[in-house]
Amino acid sequence: DAAGTYRFAGTSLLAGVTYDIPLGPVTLGARVGGHAWRVNGQVVGVGSTVLTKTEDSGAGLYYSLGASYAVSERMSIGTYYNVFNLEDGIRVKSVDVRLSYAF
């Protein structure tokens, strides 16, 4: 690529509360909270010359709905549907697949 190398780094923080409803081996759950992020990036050209830099940060709210299934007394599998509300009305939707083990 004529521009060189793209280098990006990001940090995020989530804080929220979870409410779980156990229904036998199945547990239904909901989460709500806030998140903050910071992303830094740069394009490095030939000879390690920085051609351009970028930085973005912000905060917003998120919520999640999901379910898990107890495979054994200590292990469960599940999935959560997440919606992160970013600035400018942008929404990022994702699905988590989880494997939990209680030590």
pLDDT tens-digit readout, 4-24: 788 889 898 999 999 999 999
Residue 28, pLDDT > 90, answer: yes
Euclidean distance between CA atoms 99 and 93, whole angstroms? 20
> What residues does 93 pair with on adjacent strands?
83
pLDDT for 3 beyond 60: no
pLDDT, tens digit (0-9, with 9 covering 90-100), for 57-67: 889 999 999 99
Distance CA 37, CA 69 (A): 31
